[in-house]
Structure 1
Amino acid sequence: MPTLTSPFSRPSAPGSAAPPPPKGTPPGAGGAVPAVQGAQYAQVQDRVVQALLRRGAVSAEEVTAAEAARKAIGGRQPLWRALVDVDSVDRDRVFEQAAATYAFRLAPVGDRPPEAGFAKTVIESFESAVGDKLVGLGCVPYAYAQDQPSGVLKLVFVTEDPMRPELQRVIDGLGLEKFEVCYAPGAVVEAVIAEAFPRKNEYLERLAESTGPDVDYGVSFESGEKTLVDEEALEAEISQSALLNLTEAILIEGVRLGASDIHIWPNAQRKTEVHFRTDGRLQHWHTEDRGHPEALLAVFKDAALNVDRFERDMAQDGFIQRKVDGTLIRYRVSILPIANANPEVRAESIVIRILDDRKVITDLGKLGLLEGALKQFNKAIRQPHGMVILTGPTGSGKSTTLVAALSNVVTPEVNVLTVEDPVEYIIPGVRQIKLSHKLSLEQALRAILRHDPDVVMVGEMRDKDTAELAIKLANTGHLTFSTLHTNDAPSAVSRLYKMGLEPFLIAYAINLVVAQRLIRTLCPACKEVETEPDALLLGELGFTPEQIEGTTFYQARTSGACPTCKGKGYKGRRACAEALYFTPAIQAAIVGAGEEVNENEIREIAESEGMLTLGASARVLVERGEVSVEEMLRVAGGEH
């Protein structure tokens, strides 16, 4: 039974501030900040907001935006609650300050994380209706502690928002002799709830409960001429219901497991394999062996818009929309005919990209770019004109970075237009142009020139005509974003040159080229020290003997049942990038190019001016203990 003493035994006066932060904490993160001069925020009556302003944790602009939003919905809620919903505000800072202002203690979850088993055991001891209410309010038991001065054992709860009266009423109704509600970050509480009370997938439960025989009804898709007798019709309905449940279960589980893509294809044994891509790696989830593979594939095709279920010989693209856990999720469906070792199977591969707007990053600081690259990126997108190019292979996070960049330049004063094929994420404040057989990329770009743009995003520069139009936009006073498929930043210059663009246009139209990869980060909870690093391999990866000697190398621990990473050893991904800013020296090297752009010369100049290559960026992440050598080798092993 978890027990705590000192963190919960000190008296606290109402309205007391949070304890002083550790030495070296940066401003705005709880450390010392310059005092607000004069009566700059005298009109702000909310004590929480006043404290946040004093700490520098929020800006006057963010408070103004929160006040406007609060008034728009009637002005009943406190200003600090409206502040939580402002995109650029760190909600944890707001809730932490509110808890301190209203005399709720901060649970020491950094030193002692909540235990899912303890939370589950205690909640299950309550009446089920009350336990459900607690979980629904995002509140879980954390530990037992001795109350002072009575000495009675009290139950400590943690929640992101202990200020809610309804939560106090629910806990009061438990009849506990003593209890205390403390603050903990929302992500910490959500993780405990997710582990202790995993959300049920009703479609999987229906499949598990199904006892009827599974009948192959896929053969009837080719023609509807076969008439089934009553018994067969009943069995076919049971089978169809099972496959429909499986289809919906796959779509829901993909979202809940954080997958970016779902892969579905039949194998030579007439079984349909389902794989999820999580953190960039495909992982087997299920193999369906009931009925023809065409049956499950047909159900997915039926669920998708703009897809012909009976067409099996051509590529098709479609969309699916579903409400998952109260959020509208869009799925982009790609279907391709594939060969199969079994001639009896008319095989198709279905890949479904999960488009979850909750994953959209609008804060550039959360992309994971290193300090130098982030500084150059911010500098480039703040220019009134010029081009920012993202390069990298498919799945390297180019679209994510572009969406974050656009979100930082969108204001009511500018007209932002994008040309995408297809449009994946809806960006508030941006007019996103859909391409079709009636509107090509080139036609859309020519039309944009007459549409009074300020900022333009071109999904991809595929050929000379597209590139010339994008360069023309950048050269005529527009900030332009686009992507290229090249391995590194200097080779983007070479690619544009080979497309036929003049060197002086390339040199003076482009602000920045960012080459990007996504690299998996080690699980902070279970990563372990690599006791015998391979010095020869590290040398090949660019580490100096001094770096090898002075660095603690970490590796993923894939054995065990870590609740944070589920035994994978890795948790999440971050950007690993090189940012080539077009300084006068870089521009001169491009303009002076003869028959061929010298990529090595451009790289050497950029490195002399402080650019970190992809390999150097990965080495920094390894030295910081965030990335394993194995992961660096996989992502950036062949880079400079």
Structure 2
Amino acid sequence: MQALLRRGQVTAEQVTDAERARQSLGARTPLWRALAGTRGVDRDLVFAQAAATYAFRIAPVAEREPEAEFVKTVMESFPDELREELIDLRAAPYAYAQDQPSGILKLVFITEDPMRPELQKAVNALELERFELCYAPAGAVDKVIEEAFPRKNEYLERLAEDSGADFDFGVSFESGDKKLVDEDALEAEIARSSLVNLAEAIFVESVRTGASDIHIWPNANRQTEVHFRTDGRLQHWHTEDRGHPEALLSVIKDSALNVDRFERDMAQDGFIQRKVDGTLIRYRVSILPIANANPELRAESIVIRVLDDRKVVTDLSKLGLLEGALAQFDKAIRQPDGMVILTGPTGSGKSTTLVAALSNVVVPEINVLTVEDPVEYIIPGVRQIKLSHKLSLEGALRAILRHDPDVVMVGEMRDKDTAELGVKLANTGHLTFSTLHTNDAPSAVSRLYKMGLEPFLIAYAINLIVAQRLIRGLCPDCKKANPDPDLIMARELGFSEEEIASTTFYEPNAGGACPNCKGRGYKGRRAVAEALYFSPAIRQAIVEAGDTIDEDGIRELAISEGMLTLQASARELVKRGDTSMSEMMRVTAGEH
């Protein structure tokens, strides 16, 4: 603990938070374990330091990656029960090495937590002549175990066993003008286990593939399409051609709370919960009636948002912001009052950034309130208000003023009334977070002005405006250098001749056999942002605005003070080899 404090890798405040958490976990819990789960703390650093303190070696996995084939070969020689126990304990063989000074060959295991007595007991049960437990980051251990022993989806296995099932239930229609699905025939099909297994398999696989959304809809051939949105792009997962779409859609609707399976003409919203790999996963369901090639049939589309709390980012450094934008953002959210605005289109990661910001300002001594529609992630220590037909955004904001807040997160500022209330909160001693739908940071100033806010209110209420997008990162395991980059595209994206000459441009190795990215060439997304910090010069420029806000003037002034625009930030990522030019073009085309 002291070593981490001396190196500045944790703060005294984080240690205090960890001590509070330890008291709730039980007195026997070591402080360092509680610290590893504290907001803003790098878990890997804590476990590495704990391992070193207890004299466990740190495996050099950065220089020599664990090999899945070795792990599989060695672990398959273990008794089944012990192999499964080691997988559950997230420990894997890493290498054979000579024990010193005996010279006897020993088996080296890697794990995030070599200090656990239960792990020591499990490895002892293998009756090896010599072994050693070493520390390795959880990500490296999990990756090699998943490659060696991919988790089975029991529902997919049941489907495979039932692959010959005849789905001959048909769709019949009642006489008369209303062409309706025969509910009795549909009920008979829903009762079959195959569709239930398919629905459950969808829930499990969406989590394991890291999907953010599930899309289910009938195609023109009356087959049911299932797609997962991974890293921002829809990926085909399955086409169900047995039976009719109504059956699978009905199984999904039956699984959801607050959804009427027999309603096919109205939009509906529902909620599903499942435990996947020991973690509670929430699914937010949206159902819409859609047009069909056959006007006699009523079709529906289902989109399911996968809410996995393990994906919640609480460490600001994990957002992917470049150093300058990260420093400005961290500075702005540490202020006692003022407004921080996130701007960008739907799906640009604004909510993720706001949750990370709130997680970093929550302490027991302050009252943090949010107004959300809907509430997606529960943030410990925050009182989250859900909007409904009985509670509007404006009504919630007015009520919040009487609820003794310190920090407030407002949903999107959609009109003058909500914008004025947000500014009022910021100007009366409250740190306020909100969002706008604009393309860049300077245009957010213009949008607020056009809503009817006075320039001096805008200038002195706001601390920072961050415009952001999400850009896919190249898979670090399989990305390849492009020896012949598109120079016309590079110049179009703002690369100077010097930058072109000094940059190694990388591209995705799509269609390969890389287990890390499943052949997609990209792995994960990160924020690319421009951070407009309200310096005295920026505030003065806004106050002096006449009938219109000079967006270009504000942008040029901010750039002169060190701001990187969206396109400039993306260029930095390309120059570092983190993303490709084609991905930069997709995300920032038309931006400054």
For residue 219 of structure 1, report the CA deviation from its aligned partner.
5.6
Residue pair 2:283, 2:304 contacting (<8 A) in 1 also: yes
Which of 595, 612, 615 is the equivalent residue of 2:564?
A: 612
1:548 counterpart residue number: 500
Q: Normalised by the size of structure 2, how large is the TM-score? A: 0.95
2:305 counterpart residue number: 353
One-letter code of the match for 1:347?
A
Q: Secondary structure at the match of 2:530?
A: strand
One-letter code of the match for 1:533?
P
Which piece of structure 1 moves more, 620-629 or 58-67? 58-67
1:235-254 alignment to 2 at 5 Å?
236=189, 240-254=192-206
Distance 2:370 2:70 in 1: 50
Q: Secondary structure at the match of 1:109?
A: coil
One-letter code of the match for 2:439?
N
One-letter code of the match for 2:407?
V
2:116 counterpart residue number: 164
Which of 501, 505, 509 is the equivalent residue of 2:453?
A: 501
1:256 counterpart residue number: 208
Distance 2:502 2:357 in 1: 36
1:212 counterpart residue number: 165
Residue pair 1:334, 1:350 contacting (<8 A) in 2 also: yes
1:505-520 alignment to 2 at 5 Å?
505-520=457-472
For residue 227 of structure 1, report the CA deviation from its aligned partner.
6.5
Which of 186, 197, 201 is the equivalent residue of 2:138?
A: 186
For residue 437 of structure 1, report the CA deviation from its aligned partner.
1.2
1:242-321 alignment to 2 at 5 Å?
242-321=194-273
Distance 1:540 1:630 in 2: 12
1:153-552 alignment to 2 at 5 Å?
153-210=105-162, 211-216=164-169, 236=189, 240-552=192-504
One-letter code of the match for 1:361?
V
One-letter code of the match for 1:525?
D
**Would the alpha carbon gap of residues 78 and 448 (structure 1) be closer, same or farther in structure 2, given more than 3 Å must change?**
closer
Which of 526, 531, 549 is the equivalent residue of 1:579?
A: 531
One-letter code of the match for 2:324?
G
Q: Secondary structure at the match of 1:459?
A: strand
Distance 2:473 2:100 in 1: 43
Distance 1:224 1:312 in 2: 10
Distance 1:280 1:359 in 2: 15
Distance 1:113 1:624 in 2: 22
**Would the alpha carbon gap of residues 317 and 227 (structure 1) be closer, same or farther in structure 2, given more than 3 Å must change?**
closer
Residue pair 1:270, 1:345 contacting (<8 A) in 2 also: no
Deviation per CA, 1:400-449: give whole Å up to 9, x if none. Answer: 00111111111122111111111111111111111111111111111111
For residue 50 of structure 1, report the CA deviation from its aligned partner.
3.8
Which piece of structure 1 moves more, 454-463 or 217-226? 217-226
Which piece of structure 1 moves more, 465-474 or 337-346? 337-346
For residue 490 of structure 1, report the CA deviation from its aligned partner.
0.9
Q: Secondary structure at the match of 1:605?
A: helix
2:39 counterpart residue number: 87
Residue pair 2:112, 2:136 contacting (<8 A) in 1 also: yes
Distance 2:184 2:495 in 1: 71
One-letter code of the match for 2:270?
G
**Would the alpha carbon gap of residues 272 and 344 (structure 1) be closer, same or farther in structure 2, given more than 3 Å must change?**
farther
Distance 1:65 1:409 in 2: 12
One-letter code of the match for 1:463?
D
Distance 2:323 2:43 in 1: 23
Which of 581, 584, 587 is the equivalent residue of 1:629?
A: 581
Which of 66, 69, 82 is the equivalent residue of 1:117?
A: 69
Which piece of structure 1 moves more, 267-276 or 555-564? 555-564
For residue 217 of structure 1, report the CA deviation from its aligned partner.
6.6
Residue pair 2:190, 2:251 contacting (<8 A) in 1 also: no
**Would the alpha carbon gap of residues 121 and 587 (structure 1) be closer, same or farther in structure 2, given more than 3 Å must change?**
same
For residue 480 of structure 1, report the CA deviation from its aligned partner.
1.1
Distance 2:409 2:124 in 1: 54
Distance 1:266 1:522 in 2: 33
Size of the aligned set, in residue pairs, is 587
For residue 66 of structure 1, report the CA deviation from its aligned partner.
2.9
Distance 2:195 2:292 in 1: 22
Deviation per CA, 1:38-65: give whole Å up to 9, x if none. Answer: xxxxxxxxxxx34434444333333333
One-letter code of the match for 2:166?
P
For residue 70 of structure 1, report the CA deviation from its aligned partner.
2.9
Which piece of structure 1 moves more, 547-556 or 146-155? 146-155
Residue pair 1:305, 1:319 contacting (<8 A) in 2 also: yes
Residue pair 1:319, 1:332 contacting (<8 A) in 2 also: yes
**Would the alpha carbon gap of residues 415 and 214 (structure 1) be closer, same or farther in structure 2, given more than 3 Å must change?**
same
Distance 2:543 2:35 in 1: 49
Distance 1:225 1:632 in 2: 50
Q: Secondary structure at the match of 1:342?
A: coil
Residue pair 2:180, 2:297 contacting (<8 A) in 1 also: no
Q: Secondary structure at the match of 1:387?
A: strand
Residue pair 2:39, 2:359 contacting (<8 A) in 1 also: no
Residue pair 1:217, 1:295 contacting (<8 A) in 2 also: no
One-letter code of the match for 2:52?
A
**Would the alpha carbon gap of residues 141 and 410 (structure 1) be closer, same or farther in structure 2, given more than 3 Å must change?**
same
**Would the alpha carbon gap of residues 80 and 502 (structure 1) be closer, same or farther in structure 2, given more than 3 Å must change?**
closer
One-letter code of the match for 1:330?
R
Residue pair 1:217, 1:236 contacting (<8 A) in 2 also: no
Structure 2: which 5+ runs fail to align? none
For residue 155 of structure 1, report the CA deviation from its aligned partner.
1.8
Q: Normalised by the size of structure 1, how large is the TM-score? A: 0.88
Distance 1:227 1:577 in 2: 54
4+ residue segments displaced more than 6 Å: 220-228
2:516 counterpart residue number: 564
**Would the alpha carbon gap of residues 531 and 512 (structure 1) be closer, same or farther in structure 2, given more than 3 Å must change?**
same
Residue pair 1:528, 1:556 contacting (<8 A) in 2 also: yes
Residue pair 1:220, 1:226 contacting (<8 A) in 2 also: no
Deviation per CA, 1:351-375: give whole Å up to 9, x if none. Answer: 1111111111111111111111111
Q: Secondary structure at the match of 2:132?
A: strand
Q: Secondary structure at the match of 1:533?
A: coil
Q: Secondary structure at the match of 1:436?
A: coil
**Would the alpha carbon gap of residues 182 and 252 (structure 1) be closer, same or farther in structure 2, given more than 3 Å must change?**
same
One-letter code of the match for 2:89?
L
Distance 1:465 1:601 in 2: 28
**Would the alpha carbon gap of residues 531 and 408 (structure 1) be closer, same or farther in structure 2, given more than 3 Å must change?**
same
One-letter code of the match for 2:526?
R
Deviation per CA, 1:57-95: give whole Å up to 9, x if none. Answer: 333333333333333343123333333232332222222
Distance 2:231 2:90 in 1: 27
One-letter code of the match for 1:600?
D
One-letter code of the match for 1:610?
G
